[in-house]
Amino acid sequence: MELLYAITLGVLTSCGTYLLLRARTFTVILGLTLLSHAVNLYLFASGRLVAGAPAIIGIADTMADPLPQALVLTAIVIGFAMTAFVVVLALKAAVELRNDHVDGENPDEDRT
């Protein structure tokens, strides 16, 4: 299970990073979202993988670690707000610069 989880995380990170390095704003937003999934899952994993034991007193004897969960919960919400912000930023850039290249110029080619 742990190995599977780690591999999934790796795939998410790779996909996110690759998209992050593309040249168009929308693609970068997609990449950021994937990467934030990966980061949230990674943080969550620091509480280890426990099945069927939510951190609620009185349900089961063992309980999952509540601390990473609390951290990740706020991270998800703030991540959403940041995504919204980046989306608006991308829109604004697209309007003002008349293209959706991340550098705001050279819309037809990547620069190396």
For residue 29 the two structure tokens come to: 């937003």
Q: How far is the CB of 37 from another protein (least distance, A)?
A: 5
Residues 69-98 that bind another protein (CB under 8 A): 69-70, 72-74, 76-85, 87-92, 94-95
Q: Could you say which residues in the range 6-45 bind another protein, by CB under 8 A?
A: 6-27, 29-30, 33-34, 37-38, 40-42, 44-45
What amino acid occupies position 100? D
Spatial distance between the Cα atoms of 79 and 85, rounded to a whole number of angstroms: 10
Nearest approach, Cβ of 64 to another protein (angstroms)? 4
- Minimum CB separation of residue 16 from another protein in Å reads 8
Q: Do residues 100 and 90 lie in contact, with contact meaning Cβ atoms separated by under 8 Å?
A: yes
Residue 38 CA to residue 71 CA, distance in Å, equals 14
The least distance separating another protein from the CB of residue 35, rounded to whole angstroms, comes to: 9
| 61 counts as binding another protein under rule CB under 8 A | no
Q: Residues 101, 23: contact at Cβ < 8 Å?
A: yes
Instruction: Tell me the residue length of the chain.
Output: 112
| Number of chain residues interacting with another protein (CB under 8 A) | 88
